[in-house]
Amino acid sequence: MKTDLECVPCIIKQTINTLKISGCSNKLSKKVVSELLQKLENIDYDLSPAANSDIGYIVFREVTGIKDPYYDLKRKYNRLALDIYPKLEKVVDSVKNKLYMAAKVAIAGNVIDFGIDIKKVNTLDFNKIIQDLQNMPLAVDDYDKFRESLKDSINILYITDNAGEIVFDKVLIKELVKLDKKVVLTVKSDPIINDATLEDAVEAEFDNLARVIETGNSNIGINISDSSDAFLEEFKKADLIISKGQGNFETLDETGANIFFLLKAKCEKITRELGVKHSDIVFAESKARPGKSNAVK
């Protein structure tokens, strides 16, 4: 996906959110914004919004020297999610189509995202999320295609998004393991926003449920050209890929791999791309399927 004009103010807003979270002084914050504006003057609109959003976080790190401003929030949301984990399992156990409900649980977890919107940073109501799960309608629902594709799939690559959210992902991964799928989980090698890293995977207590690998970088979404060998190997080996959140969608929507995108739509650009409304939840098969010219495989 390419960057639109409207992504420019959003990139700046994301950086300002990070400045607020980090508690930087007004003077330092103004310096970060000024340097970011300078960098964005020559923004490459052919790159994905996620790749261009990286610029904001890079400038933030360079100017402030702060490496992981979301560290405490990541700990907090892992804990909160682990607290309600038994309830999430109960919701899945209470229905007939457990895999479908587990997927919904995983998508619901995508609400724990502080890149674009930090308003809810301290007010996320997990109990409300659980209540809503049963009747949560998917604006795009390619579950049947997912179920079909799963039949022929053994190796599943599960590309995570945020800390806290990965506890919700565990519910879906557990269902996949029950179906004898081999799941490899990806996390970021270094901190970026509240994206999950190895520390989060450990805190989320994945244990032997899935093998955890690192992407090799701290890019928002997946930067194929800068990924670790371990990641690229699993990406190619995977029969089916589950991709969580907007950043991964923005960077993987044109790869042509067999990907299912599970996400909550959080900006106008994404809603247009997917033909959905703001805040809609989506379970969408990749439109750039194998055999097409842009396929990575």
- Dig out the tokens for 182 from the structure: 């081999």
Query: 33 or 242: whose CB is closer to its own copies?
Result: 33
- Interacting residues with its own copies (CB under 8 A): 5-6, 8-10, 12-13, 16, 19, 26, 29-30, 33-34, 37-38, 40-43, 45
Burial readout 155-164 (b: 16 or more C-beta within 10 A, e: otherwise): ebbbbbbbbb
Smallest separation (angstroms) from its own copies to the CB of 158: 33
Query: 43 or 80: whose CB is closer to its own copies?
Result: 43
How remote is the C-alpha of 153 from its chain's centroid?
22
Query: 45 or 72: whose CB is closer to its own copies?
Result: 45
Query: 4 or 239: whose CB is closer to its own copies?
Result: 4
Query: 40 or 257: whose CB is closer to its own copies?
Result: 40
Smallest separation (angstroms) from its own copies to the CB of 27: 10
* One-letter amino acid of 136: M
- Dig out the tokens for 72 from the structure: 């405490």
Over 133-186, what HEC string results? Answer: HCCCCEEEECHHHHHHHHHCCCEEEEECCECCHHHHHHHHHHHHHHCCCEEEEE
Smallest separation (angstroms) from its own copies to the CB of 225: 24
Q: Do 10 and 247 form a contact (C-beta atoms < 8 A)?
A: no
Q: Do 236 and 209 form a contact (C-beta atoms < 8 A)?
A: no
Q: Do 60 and 193 form a contact (C-beta atoms < 8 A)?
A: no
Smallest separation (angstroms) from its own copies to the CB of 253: 20
Smallest separation (angstroms) from its own copies to the CB of 15: 9
Query: 63 or 107: whose CB is closer to its own copies?
Result: 63
